[in-house]
Structure 1
Amino acid sequence: MSQDLPPVAPSVTAELVAALPPRLRKRLDAGVAKLAARPAVREGDTVRIAVDDETDIVLHAPGGTVTGADAIRCGCLLAPGCLHRAAAASAAPVADETPAPGPAGAPEARGEAGTRGDTGPAARTGRAEGIGTEAATAGQRAAAQAVFDAAAAVLEAGADGAGAVLQAELLRAAHTARLAGLPRAGAAAVSVVTGVRAARSADPGHRLAGLAGALADTLGTAHRLPHATGPELARLRGRARQPYRPDGSLRLYGLFCEPVLTATGYAGAVTWTADADGRLYTVSDVAPGGPARATGAADRAVRIGDTALTHRELSRAGLAVSGATVSPTGRLGAGAGVRAVRASGATWRAEPLEKLWAVPAAEQVARALDGGQDLLFLEVAVTGTVREAAGDCLLADCAGLTLRLATAHDDPALPCRDNLRLLAAAGDGRRRIVARLVPGPLPRALLLATEHPCDPGARVDLGLDRLQHADLPAGAVAPQPSAVPAGDRDAAAPLHLLRRRVHQAVSGGRRVLAFAGGGSGDGGRLRRLGLATGADLLDGLHAAAADRSRDAFGRLLPADTGRFARAWLAAAVYLDTVERALCVNAWETAAAGASSPDPARSAAAGP
C-alpha cells in the first residue's frame, strides 16, 4: 500500500479487479508490487505514475479521493481493460466511503432501527407477530452473508496469501453492505483490507493483534446480524453519519491533545476538553495525510466558531461555546450557528478538572470495558522500565498496582518513544497522567499526556510535545530496562497458548494450523490451568483447519471456509472475553489491596 497515492473508493477497486480476465488476475499481485515501487508525482488533484518510459497511469482525485473507475486512466495499448488500472487501485489506500445524499425530503441513511428502508419481509413478519422488535431485511441478511464469506476467504488464506483479488472481493462485500444500510460491517471489512495490505507491505505500523481484532469484529458482526433484533440490530448496523444534537451553551476546559495517525491514510489531531461536570468533549481535525499532517494539525486553528485558538493552545486554555451541537461520542460540531470564544483554562490539580482524577481506577476501567470512554485519569509514580518485543515501556506504581505504560504511536516522526525514554529518567515522583486502557491480563495503558517532570502546573502531550534533557531534574539518569517479571509471564502464559494460534491463523491462514501435531500439548496445558473451554475451542480450531474431505478419486474437495471461520471466531471471542475479565480482576484486586489496612502496620500501631 502506497501512501503517495490518493485513497480509492472500495467500489472502484472492486469494479476494476472484477473486470480483469483470469489470466490477468493471476498477475495482479506482481503488478501491485511493481507500481508500489514506482514514484508518484502529484499535480493538484492529479497523481501520475510512470510505469515505464512510454506509459503513465493518471489518478484524478477531486477532493482528495478517487470516486469513480473513469478517474483512473492508463496510456497503454490494452487500456481500459489493462492490468495497470486495477493494480493502481489495489496499491492505493482505501477511501472512507460516505453515502451519497438522498433526494429532498428523504430520511438520512442511518444504521439504526426505524428507518424508512426497513420494510423487508423479515421486518414485516416481526411486526405482524406482535414481537415489537425489528429484524434485518432480506437484503441486509444477504449483504452480511457476503461480508462473512469474503472475510472467511481472507482468513482461509491468511494475510500472507490474501492477495489483491481476495481483497477486492472483501471490498465489494463492504460496498454492498453500505448500500444495504450496514455501515458498521462495511467499515469493519475495509479495516481488514487495510490491515492485510499493511501486513503484506511490511508497514512498520502494522500490528498483528490489530488485524486479528478487525477480522474478529467483521466476522462477528456479519455472523450475528441476521439473527439480531431490536437494539442489538441497531448496534450491529451502526451509523453512516454521526447525528449531532443541540447542547446549548458549554464552558469547556482543555485537557490534552493527541495526534491521529491511522493505517487507512488519515492523520490529524484531536483535542480533549471537559466541562464543569466532568463530561468529555472532543474537537478533531482529521483528513487524508501522513505523519507530517499529524504534527502540523496541532498548530492549526480549531474549526469551531470564530476562535483563533489552535489545537495545541486549546489543550491548555478554555472555550466558551454557544449553540453547541454534540455527537453521541462527544464530538463538537462546527455548524454555522455555533459560536465560540477563548476562555481561561485550568490545571489538572484545580477545579473542575481535578474531579476526573478522583474517580477510582477500577471504576474507570469498568466503565471503559462496558463501552464507555476508554481514557484513564491516574496518578502514578514511575518505578522503572521493562523491555518487551514491541519496545521498552514504563513500569509505574498506581495505588499499589504495577502498571505498564506504552507509547500510543511508534512512528519515528512523532516524539512518543523519545519522550517515554526521558520520562523513565525523570525520577519516581508522583505525577498525574492521561492514558488509554489496553484490555489484557496485565494492567496496561497507552500514555497520552502527563504532568511536566519539574512543573506540576504544566503538562506534556506525549505525541506532540518533545521533552528535552533540560526538562528533567538535575542528575536524572535513565534506568536500565529490566526483564519481564516471572509473575507477569505466569499470568500471561495460559492465554498465550490460545492467542498465538489465533494470531497464526490470521497471518498464515488455515494451513499453519492444519499440520499434524502442530498444537499438540496446548489443549492439555490449558485444561491443567483451569481453562477447559479454551482447550475445547483450541481443539475445535485445529480440527476445523485439518478437515479436508476427498472425493471418490482421492481428490481434495473445496475447503469449508465457513466452519473454519466460525471456529476461529469462537476462539477469538473467548480470548477477548477472558482477557477483559482478567483485566477487571487485576484492577479490582489492586484497588482492594490498596484500601485494606496492612495487618503488620496495624499491630505495630497498637490500640
Structure 2
Amino acid sequence: VVTGVRAARSADPGHRLADLTGALAEALGVAHRLPDATGDDLTGLRGTVRQPYRPDGSLRLYGLFTEPVLTATGYAGAVTWTADADGRLYTVSDVAPGGPARATGAADRAVRIGDTSLTHRELSRAGLAVSGATVSPTGRLGAGAGVRAVRAAGASWHAEPLDRLWSVPAADQVARALDGGPDLLFLDVTLAGTVRGTTGDCLMADCAGVPLRLVTAHDDPSLPYRDNLRLLAAARGSRLRIVARLAPGPLPRVLLLATEHPTDPTARVDLGLDRLQHADLPAGAVASPAADVPAADEPPLHLLRRRVHQAVSGGRRVLALGGGASGDGARLRRLGLGTAGDLLDDLHAAAADRSRDSFGRLLPADTARFARSWLAAALYTDTVERSLCAGAWAATAEAPAPARPTEVA
C-alpha cells in the first residue's frame, strides 16, 4: 500500500489505481477481522513477509513455457513454468533489478537450480529431475546448496502428463483461479479474427462455445507479445492449444502467454520471447480488418466501483462534495442491484457525515465509519465481479449466462 501511494504521488507511470485499491482493501480487511479472529482464522490472517521453502523430496518436472518479467518497479527477468506428473505447477525464476534488456536476455541464462546448465528457454521444452527440492507455497523452486538437478526428457503438450492440464474444463480452471489457485489457464481455442473493443483491438477465439478475448500480456514494445498477437489474427480458423493468464472481468478475457505453433502441433511458441514470422502461419493466412462488436449487456457495477476508486485517489472529500445527488444509487436499485445502491448511498453519507459542537465548530470526522463503509463497498464490488467472471466462463453458445449476478448481501 505504501509503495502504491508513493507511486501515485510521484506520478510513476507504473502506478495502477486498481492495484492500489485492491491492496488497500486487503489491508483494511485484515485489520477489520484481526481483533475477533481465533484459531485457524487468526493463523491465516497473520501471513508472512517472506514465503518459507519446505522440503519436497525428489521431483520429475516437465517444461511448459517461459515468460519474461518486466515490472514497473524496476525488476526484470524470466520465469519458466513446469509441471509434475500429477499436474502440479512449479516455477523456476531469475528476476533481479533491470530493464527490458534483462527481461529478454534472462531466457538464455542457465536456470539457478542445482548444477544443470539448462537455460530457461531450453527448460521450457525439456524436463528436469530434482532431488532435495525445496518449494514455496506458490510452487517456486528453491536453489539451496542441497538441491541437485539434472536435465531429463520433456513432453509434448499433447502427451502425458502435460495433456491432462488441458483436459480440465475451462470453467473449472477459472473457478480454481478465482478461489486463490494458480491463475494460468490451459485452453483449446479456435481463432476467430480481430474485434475492436473499448480498450483497443483484441483477438477473438472460440473456447468450447465461449467467445474469448485474447489480449497482450505486456505492452512494452521490446517484448514481442503485440506483434505475435497481430500475426496470429491472420490465422483465422486455426485450432490451437494455448496457455494464458486469467484477466478477471464480466467478459471472458485472458492474457495470451504461449501457444502451440500454428502449423506444427509438436512445437510451441513463448509469445513474450519468440517472434513469429508470416511464414509460420498457415498458407493463405491474411489479416482482416478489426470488426466492431455490440456492447455487452452487463450490470452497471462501474457506478459503485468508480466511487470506491475515487475514495482512494482523492479521499473522502471527493465523495462528500458529490453527496448522493447523482442518483447512481437509485439507478443501481432500478437495475436489480439493490445492495450495491445501498452501499453507494451509505458511502456518500459516511463521507459527508460531519457534526458540529454547540459553538458551530466542526467535530472530528468519524473515520472509522467511513473506512467500514468503503471496505464494505470494495469487498462487495470484488465479490460480484468474481461472480460475473465465473458466470461468463460458464456460459456456452447453447446456454448463455444470466445478464445479472445473484445479489451478494
TM-score, structure 1 as length reference: 0.62
Q: Which runs of 5+ in 1 are unaligned?
A: 1-191, 595-607
Secondary structure in 2 aligned to 1:514?
helix
Higher Cα radius of gyration: 1
| Residues 323 and 348, structure 2, Cα contact 8 Å, conserved in 1 | no
**Alpha-carbon shift at residue 519 of structure 1 (Å):** 5.4
Structure 1 residues 137-536: aligned runs within 5 Å: 192-486=1-295, 488=296, 490-491=297-298, 493-516=299-322, 520-536=326-342
RMSD over equivalenced CA pairs, Å: 2.1
**Alpha-carbon shift at residue 592 of structure 1 (Å):** 7.6
**Alpha-carbon shift at residue 433 of structure 1 (Å):** 0.8
Partner of 1:583: 389
Paired letter, 1:455: D
Partner of 2:376: 570
| Residues 65 and 124, structure 2, Cα contact 8 Å, conserved in 1 | yes
Instruction: Report the CA distance shift for 1:494/1:249 in structure 2 as closer, same or farther (over 3 A).
Output: same
Q: Deviations over 1:211-248 (max 9, x none)?
A: 21112112112222222122222221112332222222
Q: How many angstroms apart in 1 are the aligned matches of 2:63 and 2:335? A: 47
Secondary structure in 1 aligned to 2:302?
helix
Instruction: Report the CA distance shift for 1:483/1:549 in structure 2 as closer, same or farther (over 3 A).
Output: farther
Secondary structure in 1 aligned to 2:45?
helix
Instruction: Report the CA distance shift for 1:227/1:289 in structure 2 as closer, same or farther (over 3 A).
Output: farther
Is the strand fraction higher in 1 or 2? 2
Partner of 1:543: 349
| Residues 259 and 269, structure 1, Cα contact 8 Å, conserved in 2 | yes
Q: How many angstroms apart in 1 are the aligned matches of 2:249 and 2:210? A: 15
| Residues 194 and 263, structure 1, Cα contact 8 Å, conserved in 2 | no
Greater relative contact order (CA < 8 Å, ≥ 6 in sequence) = 2
**Alpha-carbon shift at residue 560 of structure 1 (Å):** 2.9
Structure 1 residues 83-102: aligned runs within 5 Å: none
Partner of 2:404: none
Paired letter, 2:117: A
Q: How many angstroms apart in 2 are the aligned matches of 1:568 and 1:517? A: 14
Q: How many angstroms apart in 1 are the aligned matches of 2:181 and 2:273? A: 26
Q: How many angstroms apart in 1 are the aligned matches of 2:397 and 2:180? A: 21
TM-score, structure 2 as length reference: 0.91
Paired letter, 1:268: G
Paired letter, 1:573: L
| Residues 205 and 411, structure 1, Cα contact 8 Å, conserved in 2 | no
Q: Deviations over 1:33-71 (max 9, x none)?
A: xxxxxxxxxxxxxxxxxxxxxxxxxxxxxxxxxxxxxxx
**Alpha-carbon shift at residue 518 of structure 1 (Å):** 6.0
Instruction: Report the CA distance shift for 1:554/1:279 in structure 2 as closer, same or farther (over 3 A).
Output: same
Partner of 1:57: none
Q: Which runs of 5+ in 2 are unaligned?
A: 401-409
Partner of 1:94: none
Secondary structure in 1 aligned to 2:365?
coil
| Residues 157 and 163, structure 2, Cα contact 8 Å, conserved in 1 | yes
Q: How many angstroms apart in 2 are the aligned matches of 1:242 and 1:552? A: 54
Q: How many angstroms apart in 2 are the aligned matches of 1:259 and 1:497? A: 36
